[in-house]
Amino acid sequence: VETLKAKFPGAIKEAQLIHNQQVIRVALESTYQVLCFLKNEAEPDFNFLMDLTAVHFPDRGFEVIYQLYALDEARRLRVKTD
């Protein structure tokens, strides 16, 4: 998470550990760049998109959720944008 915050200042709005899984909230305008970094440059590389879903909140619109997986290290990362 600290690497992401350093590489994309202001893009990581929130980071937390939920049920032993890292969850980050990314600014909408930075989503593509952050996901590309996570796939191609991050260590470990989150090279498998396990799930892509969305939730509609009537008061604030849609939240898109990317569930990523690093095959080599069997690690999960949930990326949320709104």
Question: Residue 64: is its pLDDT beyond 90?
Answer: yes
For residue 59, pLDDT beyond 90: yes
pLDDT category of residue 82 using cuts at 50, 70 and 90: confident
36-40, long-range: CB < 8 A, 24+ apart:
37/4, 37/7, 37/8, 38/4, 38/68, 38/77, 38/79, 39/68
1-57 residue pLDDT tens = 889 999 999 999 999 999 989 999 999 999 999 999 999 999 999 999 999 999 999
Taking residues 51-68, report their average pLDDT.
Answer: 96
**What's the pLDDT at 31?**
96
Give the pLDDT confidence score for residue 41 in this predicted structure. Answer: 94
19: left (phi over 0), alpha (psi -120 to 50) or beta: left
With 0.85 as the threshold, say if the pTM is over it. Answer: yes
Q: Would you say 34 and 4 are in contact if contact means Cβ atoms under 8 Å apart? A: yes
